[in-house]
Chain A
Amino acid sequence: MSEAIEPDIDVEALKEQGVDLEVAEKVAPERDIVTKVGEALVQVQNLTIKFGGLTALDNVSFDINRGEILGLIGPNGAGKTTCFNAMTGVYKPTSGKVLLEGQLLNGLPQHRITRRGLARTFQNIRLFGEMTALENVVVGLDARHRTSVGGALLRLPTHVREEKTAIERGMALLEFVGIADHAHFLSRHLPYGYQRRLEIARALATDPKVLCLDEPAAGFNPAEKEELMALIRTIRDDGYTVLLIEHDMKLVMGVTDRIVVLEFGKKIADAVPKIIRDDPKVISAYLGEPEDDLA
């Protein structure tokens, strides 16, 4: 892993944030991405999801461009997590497509989608409690390993090499999210904030093209949220593309490059934060319409 720093790592920005460049280099995405920076990496096209009679997502389309932090926001129940679940294969879309680098993801098993390069965290933390922090991350790294039963039984060279690099990269990932000194603790014993960070490290371990974070700041106080946003920015500067779900508007404004707003399963806006802030439809979605026709 001693290759030169890839061009899409923003070295200057990382330096500015005081990130250990060596760690950042180890953590940086390893695989080739065909899509150029700024072009659409993920395309969500006319995505519709119905549960029985309820339309949770209605004809939603948006792109995620490589190298950006895209915010997906909306009031509670707007369909943010549903959209996420449809992208990562948990729900089967009623209609519409999800494309990653032009390739269709619909209908693939979830673990395949992860291996294609779409990793996610969970709104309610779902770590493997009986595993240490490091082992949790290595499970993520395993997504790109090839060893199976035969290789492990006979300790074939591939297995040995994978295990060794896994330790290196796993520790680098933990250090990157700031919990390396807790690597050997069982994940269920970690404090809440560390668990959130561990989830991000585990998702990064799968070497995703797009990292999807589902309300990573839930349950945090403002200072902690601020720290987390800094981490997300660092992840982007390290060469990842991030999709961020959040319903805290103020928070999202500060960190995202572009925002998609959902309300009642429909996309109501898609623009840079500055424009979103003044969009009357978004404001009414969050603050409610003035109910003059009821008067």
Chain B
Amino acid sequence: MSTTDGPTLIPDDSSAQEIADREAKMRRRKGWFPGLSDKWNALPRQTQWLFLIIVVVIAYLLPILNPPLITTEPGNNWQIALAQMSVYALIAVGLNVVVGYAGLLDLGYVAFFALGSYTSAMFTSPDSPYVHIPYLWTLPLAMAVAMFFGVVLGVPTLRLRGDYLAIVTLGFGEIVRILATIIPAMKGQVGFQNVGHPPGTDSAGQTIFQNSNGTPWYWLTLSIIIVVLLAAGNLERSRVGRAWIAIREDEDAAEIMGVPTFKYKVWAFAIGASVGGLSGALFAGQVGFVNNQKFDIATSILFVAAVVMGGTGNKVGAILGGALVAYIPLRFTAIAEFKYLIFGAALVIIMIFRPGGLLPARQSLLAYGRLAYNKLRGINGDIPASGKVVLQSGKGADK
């Protein structure tokens, strides 16, 4: 609250105008796509669904369309690039629950990704001496294992806040990688080859899910992303989502308002970890090979960069960020060597000009928010004589 805002208690025209002005100023500050989210929210529900269906159909058609200019060929196979982008997008969606919603800076998220990969590899690869189970069963198993370790890590560390939590999670990320190196059963750099894949053969008798064919993997991951998005949306517009945002905004106040903060922080960690594990298992299946080289801290930071770049707290933004982080080095192979330099510079630029990320959309936290806004229109409709007319014009754009 700045000093110029001053105390105003009695509602009158000027205060209403003042709020409308302030909201408008905030909208202007958003930059590149002014009012995009406002316009989106103003659309009727059916139109929104129609748009979403079109977007989803285009997304599913991407590997077949192979759009020129956008495509990563000839440098990299476009279908495999898409499969990797989708895995990164899924990671970003999962990490967004932890970083974006609950505001817990997790720098060791790669650990859960690694746990998922190893779970998938150790239960399906012929290199592993253990029990073998069908690949698809390793997906829920990877989620469960990652979730378990998420809780194990979360319970002692989530009493820490901010920077301290970041440091501990950073350590956890390293621990998993180093364990993979020194525990003989995890086979260090040798790793596991021929990780399993989902069953099925096409009409020619060829396996559908081949490592060299990205399309089925992309479709599988995309479908999983859609399910995870729906689940995340359900959580967001519920007591759970509100608890997370409240914790992010002011943890002490949340606790005093009756939010069991510790419980919901552990939940955020566990849910984020399970999505990380899931994406790890998908990654292992698609690449077909898992060793200790892919799970370093730099990758972990890259995940955080994906979320921040896309728009912290916005699940659609996270998908965009994740896909971009995977896409850019594949598309511009000439600069792939410098990807950390480029992402670093890009992050700095985004933070200066667009601190909310590429798609800074606010979460809607009420399952029946529209009900309330209709009610609100009713209230304002009842008293048209007062200064609320000014307000309503501002409000129309807001919804």
A206 CA to B7 CA, complexed, in Å: 26
Q: How far is the CB of B395 from chain A (nearest CB, A)?
A: 7
Residue of A111, A126, A148, A185 touching B19 (CB-CB under 8 A): A185
- B241 to chain A: closest residue by CB: A152
A162 CA to B368 CA, complexed, in Å: 10
Q: Is A268's beta carbon under 8 Å from chain B?
A: no
**Chain A facing B: main interface SS:** helix
The answer to whether A171 and B372 have CB atoms under 8 Å apart is: yes
In chain A, residues 177-221, which have Cβ atoms closer than 8 Å to a Cβ of chain B?
178-186, 188-197, 202-203, 206, 219-221
Q: How far is the CB of A195 from chain B (nearest CB, A)?
A: 7
The answer to whether A152 and B7 have CB atoms under 8 Å apart is: no
The answer to whether A139 and B254 have CB atoms under 8 Å apart is: yes
The answer to whether A152 and B235 have CB atoms under 8 Å apart is: yes
With contact pairs A126-B252, A129-B249, A183-B376 given, residues A111 and B259 touching in the complex (Cβ less than 8 Å): yes
- A160 to chain B: closest residue by CB: B367
Residue of A140, A149, A195, A197 touching B258 (CB-CB under 8 A): A140
A192 CA to B2 CA, complexed, in Å: 10
A138 CA to B242 CA, complexed, in Å: 8
A90 CA to B251 CA, complexed, in Å: 13
Complex interface: chain A residues within 8 A of B248 (CB): 130
With contact pairs A189-B23, A191-B8, A220-B7 given, residues A142 and B259 touching in the complex (Cβ less than 8 Å): yes
Complex interface: chain B residues within 8 A of A154 (CB): 234
The answer to whether A202 and B367 have CB atoms under 8 Å apart is: no
The answer to whether B366 and A184 have CB atoms under 8 Å apart is: no
The answer to whether B372 and A170 have CB atoms under 8 Å apart is: yes
The answer to whether B1 and A143 have CB atoms under 8 Å apart is: no
The answer to whether A227 and B10 have CB atoms under 8 Å apart is: yes
Complex interface: chain B residues within 8 A of A152 (CB): 234-235, 238-241
How many interface residues does chain B have, given as a range? 35 or more
**Chain B facing A: main interface SS:** helix
Q: Is A88's beta carbon under 8 Å from chain B?
A: yes
A-B pairs with CB below 8 Å: how many? 193
The answer to whether B235 and A153 have CB atoms under 8 Å apart is: yes
The answer to whether A110 and B240 have CB atoms under 8 Å apart is: no
A175 CA to B371 CA, complexed, in Å: 15
The answer to whether B5 and A192 have CB atoms under 8 Å apart is: yes
Complex interface: chain A residues within 8 A of B18 (CB): 191
Q: Is B70's beta carbon under 8 Å from chain A?
A: no
A166 CA to B379 CA, complexed, in Å: 18
A25 CA to B171 CA, complexed, in Å: 54
The answer to whether B239 and A162 have CB atoms under 8 Å apart is: yes
Q: Is A155's beta carbon under 8 Å from chain B?
A: yes
The answer to whether B366 and A166 have CB atoms under 8 Å apart is: yes
The answer to whether A220 and B9 have CB atoms under 8 Å apart is: yes
Interface set of A (CB-CB < 8 Å, partner B): 88, 90, 109-111, 114-115, 119-120, 122, 125-131, 134-135, 138-140, 142-145, 147-149, 151-155, 159-160, 162-164, 166-167, 170-171, 175, 178-186, 188-197, 202-203, 206, 219-221, 223-224, 227-228
19 intermolecular pairs with C-beta atoms under 8 Å apart: A115-B258, A128-B254, A134-B366, A139-B242, A139-B254, A147-B238, A151-B238, A154-B234, A162-B239, A175-B379, A178-B11, A184-B399, A185-B19, A188-B1, A189-B26, A191-B6, A191-B7, A192-B1, A224-B10
- 4 nearest interchain CB pairs? A143-B258, A193-B9, A152-B238, A128-B249
